Structure 1
Amino acid sequence: MALRDFFIALSENQLLNSAAQKYGLRMGAQSVVAGTSIPEVVQTIKELNRANISCTVDNLGEFVFEKSAATAAKNNILAVIQAIHDEQLDAHISLKPSQLGQDIDIDFCYENLKEVVALAHQYNIFVNFDMENYGRLHSSFDLLDKLHKEYNNVGTVIQAYFFESDENIEKYKDFRLRIVKGAYKEAEEVAYQSKADIDRNYLKLIEYHLLHGKFTSIATHDHNVINLVKQFVKQHNIPNDKFEFQMLYGFRKDMQLDLAHEGYNFCTYLPFGNDWYGYFMRRLAERPQNLALVTKQVFNKKTNTAIGLGVVAFALGRLSKKSK
């Protein structure tokens, strides 16, 4: 848990995030971020589509406190949607309401979201609301509820570590949902703290939505969970068109290809952009095994992963100080 807390703290450091944007993907994140431009993302989607893998595209962005930044993010997401339509790609959108103004003005955020969802609806493209920390949870659900009154191409994420997720999985059973464990540090008053409790609830939520829900995206790199899900869907005669497995770009590439080859629906979560730092650190905090999954791609074989990532943080801090 100490290592997890360390990476979460790094993900929330605005100074390091700004330095990471300035110095691009030099620190190794290029292995798990699909480039910085829409043409690069389009090319990656085409490659994955050829392997029978669909994609959900995330325009990365953190610490959005100015309307101009939120508007720029919205315009970039609209451009991605247009590219998906023009190129006839098997892909949809994942977005964070905070990137579109949730922390600035909720009505402003809603109008931005509505513009995105409306264009996606016009092209029959799904939009998934990524969930963040507990402080934004309820307003995110409120925005989703309001948009769902007009559009049916929206869904969201249920985070297994929250106590209230048991209620939300039932409330949103008619939505397409991605089930995750959760990637933020949350208070013991609102969230499970132990891995065993989170894992137990994660499987319970997956099984509930597979049995009662509209469509389930099972987001995990854990082969044990994947094998349990395979057994569960077989035992309950759940057809393949009711669910998909989902993993992050750059993680367990062979397993992604294997699952697609086995005939399961598979979706790769495809982040892109310069604002990669917070995303990258949360992925490392999420699951200790993720450290091993990216070590060979990010550092040389003799580099200790934890030390290496600490060096990344230190280096970014030094670079940001020098640039002042």
Structure 2
Amino acid sequence: MGLTRDFFIALSKNQVLNSGAKKWGLKLGASKMVAGTDIDSMMKSVKELNAEGISATIDNLGEFVYSREEALAAKNNILDTLEAIQQHGVSAHMSVKLTQVGLDVDFGFCLENMQEIVAMAANYAIFINIDMEDYSHLQQTLDILEALLKEYDNVGTVIQAYLYRSEKDMEALRDVRLRLVKGAYKEIPDVSLQSASDIDSNYLKLIKNRLQLPVFTSIATHDHVIINEVKRFVKENDIPLNRFEFQMLYGFRSEMQKELAREGFNFTTYVPFGEDWYGYYMRRLAERPQNLNLALKSLVSK
């Protein structure tokens, strides 16, 4: 399993394959996990989710951005998506990766791009979640979030349970809307827990600590054991349902998503779209290599 995961993580970082993927379209099974390559197809998917009582957090996919031109193009795509959310009146917010809007180009340039994005979103009463990337970008991400919070309150970020520092980071952000995840990148033992059981244990600890605070939290997991424990904890401790939501990825455990929404829990689906689908898709295969079956079935059916 470890070798398979490492293999797909390595593929996700291959810029040549990423460039080629833009020409292939949504193949290799990616259409099961990516809601189209353009705003119109993505918006159709979001409306279908809304009809089931499910909200969306939209990710306009983009990776390997090392020039100002690419970062500005990505920023404009995000602004266009915000306009579409507003115009269509859907229940949705946005997730944004800082490397997509210039973090690897220049810190100040990235901050300026994010200020423009968050300002437009604030004008439309749309929340912006800053996705957490690998450990090498973590502190810069928190620094940009801190700068944005001085002007806006419609912005938050992600805490990854496998990192040793996450409990401290979460405490520093106790008044900020957060998404809690286990963590999807391969990090060294010096900075992160390595065993699944240790990660699960810390994840539940962070969730329970957080749910006792009067601030909104997104619990992003497909793990039914974790979900059931959260449901038990919430009931036992009389935690209001409007204090949190469950989140899952588009194309994963769709029936469970609908069931949780029917049970009365706030539910949001992470909806990725765009031509830059390749790196995202490879990381999903790394997390759950059984998803390779989808890719193989897709190839066989063509």
Give the 3-state SS of the residue equivalent to 1:245 in structure 2: strand
In the alignment, what sits opposite 1:49?
A: 50
Between the aligned partners of 1:113 and 1:144, the Cα distance in structure 2 is 9
Please state how far the C-alpha of 1:296 moved relative to its aligned partner: 5.5
In the alignment, what sits opposite 1:145?
A: 146
In the alignment, what sits opposite 1:8?
A: 9
CA contact (8 A) 2:101 2:114 kept: yes
Between the aligned partners of 2:297 and 2:123, the Cα distance in structure 1 is 46
CA contact (8 A) 1:8 1:282 kept: yes
Structure 1 residue identity aligned to 2:128: V
In the alignment, what sits opposite 1:86?
A: 87
Please state how far the C-alpha of 1:300 moved relative to its aligned partner: 2.7
Between the aligned partners of 2:93 and 2:84, the Cα distance in structure 1 is 11
Please state how far the C-alpha of 1:235 moved relative to its aligned partner: 0.7
Please state how far the C-alpha of 1:22 moved relative to its aligned partner: 2.1
In the alignment, what sits opposite 2:297?
A: 300
CA contact (8 A) 1:158 1:178 kept: yes
Moved more, 6-15 or 50-59: 6-15
Give the 3-state SS of the residue equivalent to 1:189 in structure 2: coil
Structure 1 residue identity aligned to 2:88: E
In the alignment, what sits opposite 1:190?
A: 191
In the alignment, what sits opposite 2:212?
A: 211
Please state how far the C-alpha of 1:184 moved relative to its aligned partner: 0.9
Between the aligned partners of 1:170 and 1:136, the Cα distance in structure 2 is 19
1:239 aligns with 2:236: no
Structure 1 residue identity aligned to 2:45: T
Aligned residues with identical type, % of pairs: 56
Please state how far the C-alpha of 1:209 moved relative to its aligned partner: 0.9
Between the aligned partners of 1:172 and 1:272, the Cα distance in structure 2 is 29
In the alignment, what sits opposite 2:36?
A: 35
In the alignment, what sits opposite 1:320?
A: none
Please state how far the C-alpha of 1:200 moved relative to its aligned partner: 1.0
Please state how far the C-alpha of 1:188 moved relative to its aligned partner: 1.1
Between the aligned partners of 1:232 and 1:284, the Cα distance in structure 2 is 31
CA contact (8 A) 1:176 1:213 kept: no
In the alignment, what sits opposite 1:259?
A: 260
Please state how far the C-alpha of 1:297 moved relative to its aligned partner: 4.0
Deviations 1:88-127 (A, max 9, x none): 1100000000000000011110110000000000010000
Please state how far the C-alpha of 1:76 moved relative to its aligned partner: 0.7
1:17 aligns with 2:27: no
Runs of 4 or more consecutive aligned structure 1 residues displaced over 6 Å after TM superposition: none
Change (3 A) 1:200 1:283: same
Residues 105-120 of structure 1 correspond to what in structure 2 (within 5 A)? 105-120=106-121
Between the aligned partners of 1:283 and 1:177, the Cα distance in structure 2 is 22
Please state how far the C-alpha of 1:12 moved relative to its aligned partner: 1.3
Deviations 1:175-224 (A, max 9, x none): 11100111111111111111111111111111111112511111011111
Residues paired across the two proteins, number: 299
Change (3 A) 1:46 1:19: same
Between the aligned partners of 2:216 and 2:278, the Cα distance in structure 1 is 31
Between the aligned partners of 1:227 and 1:155, the Cα distance in structure 2 is 26
CA contact (8 A) 1:173 1:213 kept: no
Structure 2 residue identity aligned to 1:298: A
Structure 2 residue identity aligned to 1:58: D
1:154 aligns with 2:155: yes
CA contact (8 A) 2:35 2:41 kept: yes
CA contact (8 A) 1:73 1:100 kept: yes
Between the aligned partners of 1:16 and 1:300, the Cα distance in structure 2 is 20
Please state how far the C-alpha of 1:85 moved relative to its aligned partner: 0.8
Give the 3-state SS of the residue equivalent to 1:178 in structure 2: strand
CA contact (8 A) 2:28 2:296 kept: no
Between the aligned partners of 1:140 and 1:99, the Cα distance in structure 2 is 12
Give the 3-state SS of the residue equivalent to 1:237 in structure 2: coil
Q: Structure 1 length as normaliser, TM-score?
A: 0.89
CA contact (8 A) 1:56 1:269 kept: yes
Between the aligned partners of 1:302 and 1:25, the Cα distance in structure 2 is 11
Structure 2 residue identity aligned to 1:158: I
1:95 aligns with 2:96: yes
Please state how far the C-alpha of 1:43 moved relative to its aligned partner: 1.1
Please state how far the C-alpha of 1:291 moved relative to its aligned partner: 3.6
Structure 2 residue identity aligned to 1:62: E
Between the aligned partners of 1:16 and 1:244, the Cα distance in structure 2 is 35
CA contact (8 A) 1:31 1:298 kept: no
Residues 64-79 of structure 1 correspond to what in structure 2 (within 5 A)? 64-79=65-80
In the alignment, what sits opposite 2:172?
A: 171
Between the aligned partners of 1:158 and 1:200, the Cα distance in structure 2 is 15
Please state how far the C-alpha of 1:295 moved relative to its aligned partner: 5.1
Between the aligned partners of 1:301 and 1:95, the Cα distance in structure 2 is 29
